[in-house]
Chains A and B, each alone.
Chain A
Amino acid sequence: MNTIAALEQAEKLLTPWTKEAVRPEPNRLDVTIAGLDLYACAAALKQEPWGYLSAITGLDLGLEVGELETLYHFCEGAAITTLRVRLLRQGGSVPTLYPLFPVASFFERELSEMFGIEVTGTPDPSRLFIPDDWPVNVYPLLKDFDPKVVQPRQADSPRSFQPQDGQTFYVPIGPQHPALKEPGHFEFTVDGEVIVGARMRLGYVHRGIEKATESQNWVQNLYLLERVCGICSHTHATAYVLGVERLAGVETPPRAQAIRELIAGLERIHSHLLWLGVSAHEAGFDTLFMYSWRDRETVMDILENLSGNRVNYSANIIGGVKFDIYPEHAKTIRQGLDFLEERIRHYLDIVTTDILFLQRTRGIGRISREEAAHLGLLGPTARASGVVRDVRIEAPYGPYSHYPVSIVTSEAGDLEARFVVRLKELFVTINTIRVIMDNLPESDLSVRVPRRIPAGETISRVEAPRGEVFYFIKSDGTDRPERIKVRTPSLCNWTAVLSKAVGSQLADAPLLIAGMDPCFSCNDRMITVKRLDGK
């Protein structure tokens, strides 16, 4: 289904409730509806089915207008339909979409704690990101939010893990736990070795980046957003610059686009190898962990060689890239890729043939294609369940129309499939990088972009190693963004992990969590910390 046809279909589906429908961009439909009709609209889209719920954005239109907007973004291929609901600034409420799209639960928790919008009927209204001692009725993403008013209140009494009814037995994992080197908190209720309940809490490393973008100019924000994630830093910067370039109406030179995809490929290799090591460690196979991380150094060296940095390569600038690929770079990259290709083939062989390792992965945490679609899974985790979901293919952005990638899917949907899909993706990535290096177009590396970005809204979607990264960017015509919303892929995959953890063995839980390649720091990004100097 092409984009135009998809948008027309969506428009037709939503006609009964539409107050106003516009096409702000060729691939987007923006429908204003009443809050009461939201559930019906979402149900109509779900019924068809038309796309998946990709993100919910909250917008504060300011004190003068006195209204808030919530934007529900649905994606189908390259087409994006946004349902726009206007709410009063005080006491606004929207119905939950949880029964239709389970993933909405996380988005809605974020929405209500950041904007004070009440979500009616939600299964879990508790805080997801902001700390327990955050004052009540202070919502950080409102425009009139003043950091000075944030006085930590007495937190609720520390949560006790002692069983209330004398029956349940909690095993807490995180935020400090050897299983989880990252700051998330899981509570598994166990019966012997079997998990019978699972809950989670995020937000231990919120840095308030979304709020901070509103007080920095467009160029400064590039550096800020690159630091949303330590692993897919390039992806976040790319998503941001693609959106800003679209708003500014500039065309990036082809060589810069090619270099962007090349860096993205290298990033995917290092991210997937990192994940392979972590997962092997969670399964108790430390030898594979050590070897895969040793080999990962090859690609880290390449990135350092190209950019001077191992993690935040800072390749992007608005309107182009910062550095070129010289012939001597190309030679090191090729050698590194040849080595890695051979090693990855070996690892693929191990994870598909080692009997003991297969005992820990084959048939564990199986997610069927229907479940994956219903739960709104993204990235390799979705592809391992046979769902074709890859922004690079569904909605090729930037250079991906010139250097297409092929999709790797599996029907098995278990942990083994997630290993196989990720490793096979690396072969595709390696080949794409080779193609790019053989066909690097000659052009400038960047174009000039005005300091002030014309007013408008845009949505930028980029495929990170973990899945779709969603950026909503709104400019009011000044040198600062009005609002930047970031939705990272891990947030969409939690629902599946939690639902799959229930009923499985406690010993499988770490591998189940690792299996979706969660990235905590990019999940957590939005808390505003009171600055000591009072500014």
Chain B
Amino acid sequence: MMFSALKPILQILIFPAGLFLVASGIVVEWIDRKLVARLQNRVGPRWFQILADIVKLLAKEEILPSAANPWLFIGLPMIALAGCMTAALYVPLMGLSPAYSFSGDLIVTLYLLSLLTLSKGLAGWNTSSRFSLVGATRGLTQLFAYEAPFLLALLGPAIVAGSWQIDVIMQRNSSSWIILTQPIGFLVALIGLMGKLELPPFDAPEAETEIVAGAMTDYSGRGLAIFNIAKSVEFVIGLTLVAAFYLGGLNNPLEYLLKTFFILVVLIGLQTLLTRLRIDQTVGLWWRYGAILVLIQWMILIIWKESILL
């Protein structure tokens, strides 16, 4: 009862407000960095560090490389952020129903989320730094590696629900935890999310010991800040999607917080434990194991569904 009364108020504050998304992105990134640091026996950033970094970057001069196309250079971070922000409209943030919803919005959301990687790829290609170029190549190569398995892993719950609409899938699956019936899909979705966010061990595109900051090497000031915000927002949306699909739906803010935090902790553990993969190893891992595992999952699902219908 209480939640239904609060719902309209929360919706006004949260949707479709970008400020909330940025804030939650900052919180998620801070938890990520702080916990990784603690697990690595470091102190980690202070609570306002991420915000301070963003403010600092936004206030700094943006250096435009002479070899870069200025329109692309300035525009790409915005496209990336806009993509992530738009994707937020279709996911059940804070456990509330999405601001917009239509049949097939799952596919649209996933493509909007890919805009970040595509923008980074273009940004790396657009500047003359060779580190950027190598980083962009790696980023796009990685995109081709994880994108299909990740998509297939998120379509697993969709098949069970018989719909490609995020809200509908979540509602229909909220009675059961799909993680129990489709553990492979959950694993692939989780690791796919790490690949999407270029978290270790999939951080070859921005491996600092090889190619400095990858595609972001030439970015400074505002552009870098916006790219960072976009990544944080994508982190939030990714967590929301996986939690909504696999962990029995998100029916209220408390459930949302607990479930996304659980996934975040699992991701942090993996980041701490694993060694960076080379780009050829990443691609090999996805196509040799990720894709095949998900396809097996799919076959089981389809056969199972057929047998129910028969």
Q: A interface vs B, CB < 8 Å?
A: 161, 169-172, 177-179, 190, 192-193, 280-287, 290-291, 294, 354, 356-357, 359-360, 505-510
CA distance A170 to B128 in the complex (A): 12
Please provide the chain B residues from 221 to 247 with a CB less than 8 Å away from any CB of chain A in the complex: none
By a CB distance below 8 angstroms, the chain B residues around A169 are: 130
| Nearest-Cβ distance from residue B285 to partner chain A, whole angstroms | 9
CB <8 Å contact, B209 and A179: yes
CB <8 Å contact, A360 and B278: yes
| Nearest-Cβ distance from residue B272 to partner chain A, whole angstroms | 5
CB <8 Å contact, B275 and A356: yes
By a CB distance below 8 angstroms, the chain B residues around A354 are: 275
| B276 adjacent to chain A (CB < 8 Å) | yes
CA distance A285 to B200 in the complex (A): 9
A-B pairs with lowest CB-CB distance, top 4 = A284-B276, A285-B275, A290-B40, A179-B209
By a CB distance below 8 angstroms, the chain B residues around A172 are: 130
Contact of A360 among B41, B42, B131, B275 (CB under 8 A): B275
Contact of B40 among A284, A286, A510 (CB under 8 A): A286
| Nearest-Cβ distance from residue A199 to partner chain B, whole angstroms | 15
CA distance A291 to B278 in the complex (A): 23
| Nearest-Cβ distance from residue A114 to partner chain B, whole angstroms | 33
By a CB distance below 8 angstroms, the chain A residues around B41 are: 290-291, 294
| B212 adjacent to chain A (CB < 8 Å) | yes
CB <8 Å contact, A507 and B208: no
Secondary structure type dominating chain B contacts: helix
CA distance A360 to B137 in the complex (A): 20
Chain B, residues 244-287, CB within 8 Å of chain A (1/0): the string is 00000000000000000000000000001111111111000000
By a CB distance below 8 angstroms, the chain A residues around B156 are: none
Chain B, residues 127-162, CB within 8 Å of chain A (1/0): the string is 000110010011000000000000000000000000
By a CB distance below 8 angstroms, the chain A residues around B272 are: 287
Chain B, residues 193-210, CB within 8 Å of chain A (1/0): the string is 000000011011001111
| Nearest-Cβ distance from residue A178 to partner chain B, whole angstroms | 5
By a CB distance below 8 angstroms, the chain B residues around A283 are: 275-276
Q: B interface vs A, CB < 8 Å?
A: 39-42, 130-131, 134, 137-138, 200-201, 203-204, 207-212, 272-281
Contact of B39 among A193, A287, A357, A505 (CB under 8 A): A287
CB <8 Å contact, B200 and A290: no
Name A181's closest neighbour in chain B (CB-CB). Answer: B209
CB <8 Å contact, A356 and B278: no
CA distance A406 to B138 in the complex (A): 45
CB <8 Å contact, B273 and A505: no
| Nearest-Cβ distance from residue B269 to partner chain A, whole angstroms | 11
17 contacts between A and B (CB under 8 A): A171-B131, A178-B208, A193-B134, A193-B279, A282-B209, A283-B276, A284-B207, A286-B40, A287-B39, A287-B272, A354-B275, A356-B277, A359-B277, A359-B281, A360-B278, A506-B134, A510-B209
By a CB distance below 8 angstroms, the chain B residues around A193 are: 134, 138, 278-280
CB <8 Å contact, B278 and A179: no
CB <8 Å contact, B277 and A510: no
Contact of A177 among B212, B274, B277 (CB under 8 A): B212
CA distance A354 to B276 in the complex (A): 12
CA distance A360 to B281 in the complex (A): 9
| Nearest-Cβ distance from residue B209 to partner chain A, whole angstroms | 4
By a CB distance below 8 angstroms, the chain B residues around A294 are: 41
Name A193's closest neighbour in chain B (CB-CB). Answer: B279
Residue from B210, B276, B277, B279 with most neighbouring chain A CB atoms (10 Å)? B210
By a CB distance below 8 angstroms, the chain B residues around A179 are: 208-210, 212
By a CB distance below 8 angstroms, the chain B residues around A508 are: 278
Name B40's closest neighbour in chain A (CB-CB). Answer: A290
CA distance A118 to B238 in the complex (A): 64
CA distance A178 to B211 in the complex (A): 8
Residue from B42, B208, B274, B278 with most neighbouring chain A CB atoms (10 Å)? B278
Residue from A291, A354, A360 with most neighbouring chain B CB atoms (10 Å)? A360
Name A290's closest neighbour in chain B (CB-CB). Answer: B40
CA distance A287 to B268 in the complex (A): 12
CB <8 Å contact, A285 and B276: yes
CB <8 Å contact, A505 and B275: no
CB <8 Å contact, B275 and A507: no
Given A287-B273, A359-B277: A507 in contact with B204 (beta carbons within 8 A): yes
Name A178's closest neighbour in chain B (CB-CB). Answer: B208
CB <8 Å contact, B212 and A178: yes
Given A169-B130, A283-B276, A359-B281: A290 in contact with B210 (beta carbons within 8 A): no
By a CB distance below 8 angstroms, the chain A residues around B130 are: 161, 169-172
